[in-house]
Structure 1
Amino acid sequence: MENSDTCTFHIQLLSNTVDMEQYPFIKLIIENDISKEEYKSLLNMLQYLNDKYDAQKEEGLIDFTSLLIHFAGMLNEKLDPNDTIQALKKEGYYPSLMNEFIDILYRYEARRRRR
């Protein structure tokens, strides 16, 4: 077996021993073949957006749609923004920011349905 085949096999074995539904973000990373560099880049972007969110909230801003647009625009093309936000929320990454993103998406969807 080739080294990468062995790694893939080992990951499959490990994923069968863990309830991956408890780790939806990690599951997305594995299923979408996100590299270590892509993963680090995503986490750096999330930290940046969370810092901006905290600063804007402190300044009294109440609309954070621009942060969601930044997130969706800069997110790796292998990942779906909605699925990624839900997975991050479920695993507890940046809870305030993810709740804000979910609220924005919910309001957008509600407005869209009323049309």
Structure 2
Amino acid sequence: MGVVDQAVLDMVFSTHKDLWSDFGIYEAISKNQGADAEGLAANRVFLKKLLHVQPSAVLLLTQVRQSVLRVVAADPTLNKTNLKNLVYASSRFDRLSAMLYHLRRAKRDEPKMRQLVAKATGDSLKA
């Protein structure tokens, strides 16, 4: 269910590296916290790209980490943190995992979806 063709995932991460190097508010939000409508909206372009290759919205840590490490090896300036590249790659997975979890939860739980939409602004719901 969570396995994606690694070459396809690598292409998504290398083509859209500007979209995953900083997830904005989701840099500080975990799965256990509530979804942030503005944060999801701000990251919707990259999330749509991932959902295109993995509609179940479930990714494996090893695959994401491998994709991030390949891109960071080619462009070390992407890791603007003090974290080692392996830890940084894992942090990218944690952030993505939280966003995808919030999307899956909102999709299967109508009250959660209404709550998420209620928190959003008109601008964030466009597109």
Which protein has greater RCO, CA pairs closer than 8 Å, 6+ apart?
Answer: 2
TM-score interval for Structure 1 and Structure 2 normalised by the shorter chain: 0.3 to 0.5
- The TM-score with structure 2 as length reference comes to 0.38
Larger Rg: 1
Larger helix fraction of residues: 1
- The TM-score with structure 1 as length reference comes to 0.41
